[in-house]
Chain A
Amino acid sequence: EAGVTQFPSHSVIEKGQTVTLRCDPISGHDNLYWYRRVMGKEIKFLLHFVKESKQDESGMPNNRFLAERTGGTYSTLKVQPAELEDSGVYFCASSQPLAGGPLNEQFFGPGTRLTVL
């Protein structure tokens, strides 16, 4: 079974440009998450989809970030316009809840390393 995949693996853009990251979750996983790790810091939660609905977007930094999951399959995260502080590794994860509650395992993709110059 294929794991979580992310594209691209690396992206280098200039400040003010737009970048779109893509995540394909494990087939059948309704829950999809975006996280970000800025160098040397913790992995920070950005948002959580259940199918195509945003369940929790409390971690989104500001309105320059837009996440979508049309059709409840793959998801995109667009940054427009990008700023220097947006640099970091963006991870996507997916999970299928166990019966009875949110005690689930989140499976992570390899991440997209974004560098904003």
Chain B
Amino acid sequence: GQQLNQSPQSMFIQEGEDVSMNCTSSSIFNTWLWYKQDPGEGPVLLIALYKAGELTSNGRLTAQFGITRKDSFLNISASIPSDVGIYFCAGQTSGTYKYIFGTGTRLKVLA
């Protein structure tokens, strides 16, 4: 079945540092999404990518959809304590509604 390999599994960084995480897949996706889950909450959409090569920003977040449609990265600049949480990548293929999720990257920010 379709799988997304997400790395790293966890990260500990200092406040103010930049962070990068990525996802790869052997399958092609038409839409790529990045979600964040805060403790005790459900995942919340951060960025959605629809076109191969697309680079999109949302405040301090930047994400790119790989040219082959098989990978994506998410960058967070100048991290702050509220960036703590689990970040999930997810892919969606054309004609389907379900999301295929990665295993998540747990981010901890040290003040």
Answer yes or no: A106 CB below 8 A from chain B CBs: yes
SS class, residues of chain B in contact with chain A: loop
Let me know if A41 and B42 touch, CB within 8 A.
no
Please determine whether A111 and B42 come into contact, CB atoms closer than 8 angstroms: yes
Q: Distance (Å) between the CB of B101 and the closest chain A CB?
A: 4
Q: Are A33 and B42 in contact, with the CB atoms below 8 A?
A: no
Q: Does A14 contact B (CB under 8 A)?
A: no
Within 8 A of A (CB), among B1-47: 3-4, 31, 35, 40-45
Docked complex: A84-117 residues within 8 A CB-CB of B:
91, 93, 95, 97, 101-111
Residue in A35, A40, A102 whose CB lies within 8 Å of B95: A102
B interface footprint on A33-75 (CB within 8 Å = 1, 0 otherwise): 1010000111111001000000110110000000000000000
Shortest distance between the CB of B35 and any CB in chain A (Å):
8
